[in-house]
């Protein structure tokens, strides 16, 4: 094994060979033709011509070897519920396209202002908002739709490495939130490499990331990165002080969590209460 210094030096001095090696950490449906296209700096295109899929790397490819391993544990101190999903169960849920959409009134207002609003909006009604209303012809009830698609399987779409995976906006602390677009292949390789070399996470272990799911750290290290690494991930819904400031540590103990990372803002919140 090379030393950390040699490993770091190779990432700088032999960048393309270094990342070609890291690309072996994920599954490629079609091997890439070129590691890096930097012909239009500062814009980079990684693993050009390669085809892969984030969902396949995070869920599908683990079914054969660890299908019965717990993939995701949802813990909520907001509604006092907890639920676990194995990789097989998570695969079934993904195929049913379940996704919770909060702040319905804000969604309605945003779609009124949007230049290109979606034709359909999929809603998961948790029963927390008695005033929740559905727009006829546009809004679809996830629970009702779930019955119609139960047991069905949807094949992954193989995307060229530089196709977009998602767009998330910055927090807006500068007054002008900016939309940041992630690609597919480069993003997946970066997450897989970070789990192995930075977080030292191994398949079968448990990771607890306390960041906000709506920010890129939450997207990356609550969902994609630990699942790509074949780990169990903890998804916590609630503030870090309910029912008390020890809730995170209780979760770590109960789940035998071997890897935990926190957002600076939430660290400040717990530190303030502690003092």
Residues 114 and 208 placed together within one structural domain of the fold: no
Confidence band of 262 (pLDDT split at 50, 70, 90): confident
Residues 89 and 107 placed together within one structural domain of the fold: no
Say what the pLDDT of residue 127 is. 76
pLDDT, mean of residues 218-224: 94
Residues 92 and 189 placed together within one structural domain of the fold: yes
Query: Is residue 275 scored above 50 in pLDDT?
Result: no
Query: Is residue 271 scored above 90 in pLDDT?
Result: no
Q: What is the CATH number of the domain that holds 178?
A: 3.40.50.12780
Say what the pLDDT of residue 172 is. 62
Residues 176 and 217 placed together within one structural domain of the fold: yes
| Domain end position, chosen among 116, 150, 184 | 150
Residues 171 and 212 placed together within one structural domain of the fold: yes
Residues 244 and 193 placed together within one structural domain of the fold: yes
Out of 96-110, 137-151, 256-270, give the one with best mean pLDDT.
137-151
How would DSSP label each residue in 25-78?
A: GS--SB--SEEEEEEETTEEEEEET-EE-HHHHHTGGGHHHHTTSEEEEEEETT
Cβ neighbours of 273 (radius 10 Å): 12
Residues 55 and 103 placed together within one structural domain of the fold: no
Residues 133 and 49 placed together within one structural domain of the fold: no
* Residues comprising the chain, all counted: 275
3-state helix, strand, coil split of the chain in percent (to 5) is: 40, 20, 40
Look up the domain containing 244 and give its range.
Answer: 4-96+157-274
Say what the pLDDT of residue 196 is. 95
Residues 136 and 191 placed together within one structural domain of the fold: no
Q: How many CA atoms lie within 13 A of 165 on its CB side?
A: 20
Q: pLDDT tens digits for 104-136?
A: 888 888 888 988 888 999 888 877 777 788 999
Say what the pLDDT of residue 70 is. 97
Residues 76 and 163 placed together within one structural domain of the fold: yes
Higher-scoring residue by pLDDT: 244, 176:
244
Query: Is residue 225 scored above 70 in pLDDT?
Result: yes
Answer for the pair 138, 120: CB distance below 8 angstroms, yes or no. Answer: yes
Q: CA-to-CA distance for 225 and 86, rounded, in angstroms? A: 16
* DSSP 8-state class, residue 24: G
What lies within 8 Å, CB to CB, of 189 at 6+ separation is 19, 22, 23, 25, 26, 46, 47
Residues 90 and 112 placed together within one structural domain of the fold: no
Out of 173-177, 178-182, 261-265, give the one with best mean pLDDT.
178-182
Query: Is residue 86 scored above 80 in pLDDT?
Result: yes
Number of domains in the chain: 2
pTM for this prediction: 0.80
Q: How many CA atoms lie within 13 A of 270 on its CB side?
A: 16
Query: Is residue 157 scored above 60 in pLDDT?
Result: yes
Q: pLDDT tens digits for 200-217?
A: 999 999 999 998 888 888
């Amino acid at each position: 094994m090379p030393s950390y210094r040699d490993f770091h030096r190779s990432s700088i001095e032999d960048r393309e060979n270094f990342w070609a090696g890291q690309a072996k950490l994920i599954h490629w449906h079609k091997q890439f033709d070129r590691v890096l296209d930097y012909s239009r700096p500062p814009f980079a295109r990684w693993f050009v011509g390669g085809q892969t899929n984030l969902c396949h790397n995070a869920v599908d490819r683990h079914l054969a070897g660890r299908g019965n391993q717990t993939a995701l544990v949802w813990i909520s101190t907001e509604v006092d519920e907890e639920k676990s999903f194995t990789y097989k169960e998570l695969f079934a849920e993904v195929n049913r396209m379940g996704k919770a959409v909060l702040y319905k009134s804000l969604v309605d207002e945003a779609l009124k202002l949007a230049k290109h609003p979606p034709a359909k909006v999929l809603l998961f009604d948790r029963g927390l908002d008695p005033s929740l209303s559905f727009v006829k012809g546009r809004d679809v009830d996830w629970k009702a739709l779930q019955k119609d698609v139960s047991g069905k399987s949807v094949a992954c779409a193989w995307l060229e490495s530089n196709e977009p995976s998602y767009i998330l906006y910055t927090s807006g602390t500068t007054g002008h939130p900016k939309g940041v677009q992630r690609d597919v292949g480069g993003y997946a390789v970066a997450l897989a490499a970070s789990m192995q070399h930075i977080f030292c996470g191994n398949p079968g272990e448990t990771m607890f990331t306390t960041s906000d799911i709506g920010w890129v750290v939450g997207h990356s290290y609550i969902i994609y990165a630990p699942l790509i690494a074949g780990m169990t991930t903890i998804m916590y819904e609630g503030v870090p002080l309910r029912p008390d400031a020890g809730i995170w540590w209780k979760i770590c103990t109960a789940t035998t969590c071997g890897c935990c990372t926190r957002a600076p803002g939430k660290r400040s919140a717990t530190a303030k209460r502690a003092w």
